[in-house]
Amino acid sequence: MTTAPASTKFVFMDRDGVINRDSPDYIKSWSEFEFLPGSLEAMARLTRSGFQIIIITNQSIINRGMVKQAVLDDIFRRMTAAVIAAGGAILDIFFCPHTPHEDCDCRKPKPGMILTAGRRHGIDLSRAYMIGDNAKDIQCARNAGVGTSILVRTGAGLEAESVLTRKRIRPDHIAADLLAAACWITAGPAAHGKMP
């Protein structure tokens, strides 16, 4: 493994409820995939500012037998193409195909996907960011040792705030949506009251 230069900046982000509208019936085709307002602009902003974006997403629709792997791959491919067309880039995508009952090591809030990404790309996780709309995203970031966790209020974000409060877990920042989170990140550590 080659360790990324210290100057390389990484942002992990969830997909459903952060990048695109989530659905209680799951996203089973590209026709059901809808970018949230500002999400493409957010990823373009992060890319322009030198951040590498990695998607970390639970996709139990595979092992639930709701879609084939090829369909999920097609959704990821089209999503990535749209991000590129908008001026952004996605470095990598990690997904967990397992159901909650399979007790795998990769399904969030377990840290498996982030730890694997960290090894693959030589990431200093303590300097990375994680953006999610679910309590599991914030817990996953903590479990993996990600330096900064951001909860967005899109998707399940409002419910997640209550869950995290009950569990006495506090994200490092709460943002209205992905674009607001991207603006906060790109403002730099000095704007966050942290040393760079």
Q: What does the pLDDT look like over 9-63, one tens digit per residue?
A: 999 999 999 999 999 999 999 999 999 999 999 999 999 999 999 999 999 999 9
Nearest to 186 by CA among 43, 63, 65: 43
Q: How far apart are CA 147 and CA 162, in angstroms?
A: 22
Q: Which has more pLDDT, 196 or 20?
A: 20
Q: How many domains does the chain have?
A: 1
Kindly name the residue from 16, 133, 137, 172 that is annotated as catalytic: 16
Domain boundaries, position 106 = 9-190
Looking at residue 169, which CATH number applies to its domain? 3.40.50.1000
Give residue 6's pLDDT band: very low, low, confident or very high (50, 70, 90): low
Kindly name the residue from 14, 22, 133, 172 that is annotated as catalytic: 14
Cα 67 from chain centroid (whole Å): 22
Give residue 102's pLDDT band: very low, low, confident or very high (50, 70, 90): very high
Buried b (16+ CB within 10 A) or exposed e, 158-175: eebbeebeeeebebbbbb
Residue 14 is among the residues annotated as catalytic for this protein: yes
Is 26 domain-assigned? Answer: yes
pLDDT given for residue 193 in this prediction: 61
Is 1 domain-assigned? Answer: no
Nearest to 182 by CA among 13, 5, 21: 13
Is 4 domain-assigned? Answer: no
pLDDT given for residue 188 in this prediction: 79
Residue 103 is among the residues annotated as catalytic for this protein: no
Is 45 domain-assigned? Answer: yes
